[in-house]
Amino acid sequence: MPANRPLSLITGASAGIGTAFARRLAVLGHDLVLTARRVDRLEALAAELREKHGVSVMVLPNDLANPGAPQALCDALRQHDLQVDWLINNAGYGVPGSFLANDWKAHADFLQVLLTAPTELAWRLLPGMRKRGYGRIINVASLAGHVPGPAGHTLYAASKAYLIKFSQSLALENREAGVNVCALCPGFTWSEFHDVTGTRDKMNQMPGFMWLSAEQVVRQGIDAVERGQAVYIPGRVNRAIKTIVQLMPDRLAMWLSARESKRYRNADE
| Confidence tier at 259 by pLDDT (50, 70, 90) | confident
Q: Which residues face 189 on adjacent strands?
A: 212
Per-residue pLDDT of 44-93, as tens digits, reads: 999 999 999 999 999 999 999 999 999 999 999 999 999 999 999 999 99
- Let me know if residue 232 belongs to a domain: yes
Domain count, the chain: 1
Q: What pLDDT score was predicted for residue 134?
A: 98
Alpha-helical (H) ranges within 59-137 are 69-79, 104-111, 117-132
- Let me know if residue 268 belongs to a domain: no
Give the highest mean pLDDT range of 95-99, 109-113, 190-194, 235-239.
109-113
Whole-number Cα distances in Å, 215 to 24, 29, 165, 181, 230: 8, 17, 25, 20, 20
> 54 lies in which domain range?
7-261
Mean local confidence (pLDDT), 216-227: 97
Q: What pLDDT score was predicted for residue 250?
A: 86
Contact in structure between 23 and 49 (CB atoms under 8 Å):
yes
Q: What pLDDT score was predicted for residue 246?
A: 87
- Let me know if residue 1 belongs to a domain: no
Name the least confident of 124-128, 147-151, 202-206, 241-245: 202-206
- Let me know if residue 269 belongs to a domain: no
Share of the chain residues as helix, strand and coil, in percent rounded to the nearest 5: 55, 15, 35
Contact in structure between 42 and 18 (CB atoms under 8 Å):
no
Active site residue 156: yes
- 100 CB-near residues (< 8 Å, 6+ apart): none
Q: Which pTM was predicted? A: 0.89
Give the total residue count for the chain: 269
| Confidence tier at 128 by pLDDT (50, 70, 90) | very high
- 50 CB-near residues (< 8 Å, 6+ apart): 56, 57
Catalytic residue among 156, 162, 232, 264: 156
Which CATH number do you get for residue 64?
Answer: 3.40.50.720
